[in-house]
Structure 1
């Protein structure tokens, strides 16, 4: 069994028009166990999520939960080894 797994950071564009939209998106992201962290940039209408997941599946899941169009802007894969003390080096 390998000690490395894919750690994904994905940035998406979503409409965040009001406080309600923001809360709805935030609540949906907090419920997802596979996410390590998330960042909602309201003014740029951008949502970034990091964790171990399949990007397309995550986008579909977020779209279903929030009922909003999700446009994937960027997907970064970070190789995470068993020595978690060191910074992951981009390959």
Structure 2
């Protein structure tokens, strides 16, 4: 990837505990995701990671057999400075 880090929010129908588990299982199997958050009450799923947003929405649709509506896509620069120095307070853990 080109260092693009995205946070995407989608709307999905989460009716029952089985629907929640199906969505959660599908998200856990996607290697490109760093983190996810499933909000049952608002019917929203948020995912973050280095991925192509449309591809993740398509995979989620196919694996859960549920409609996926993309609400928001935020692009975050994952560069973080790119210096040679370790982060402050990081200690000598590198080998």
TM-score (ref. length: structure 2): 0.82
Question: Does 2:22 correspond to 1:24?
Answer: yes
Q: Using a 3 Å threshold, how does the CA distance of structure 1 residues 60 and 85 change in structure 2: closer, same or farther?
A: farther
- Which residue of the partner structure matches residue 8 of structure 2? 10
String of CA shifts for 1:33-56, please: whole Å, max 9, x gaps: 000000000000000000011111
Deviation, 1:16, is 0.2
Give unpaired runs (5+ residues) of structure 2.
89-95
- Residue 72 of structure 1 is matched in structure 2 by 70
- When the two structures are aligned, how many residues end up with a matched partner? 83
Give the CA RMSD over aligned residues.
Answer: 1.8
Structure 1 unaligned blocks of 5 or more: 87-91
Listed one character per residue, the Cα deviations across residues 11-67 of structure 1 (whole Å, up to 9, x for unaligned) are 000000000000000000001100000000000000000001111111000000000
Q: TM-score, normalised by structure 1?
A: 0.86
The residue number in structure 1 matching 2:91 is none
Where does structure 1 differ by over 6 angstroms across 4 or more consecutive aligned residues?
Answer: none
CA distance in structure 2 between the aligned counterparts of 1:78 and 1:29, rounded to whole angstroms: 20
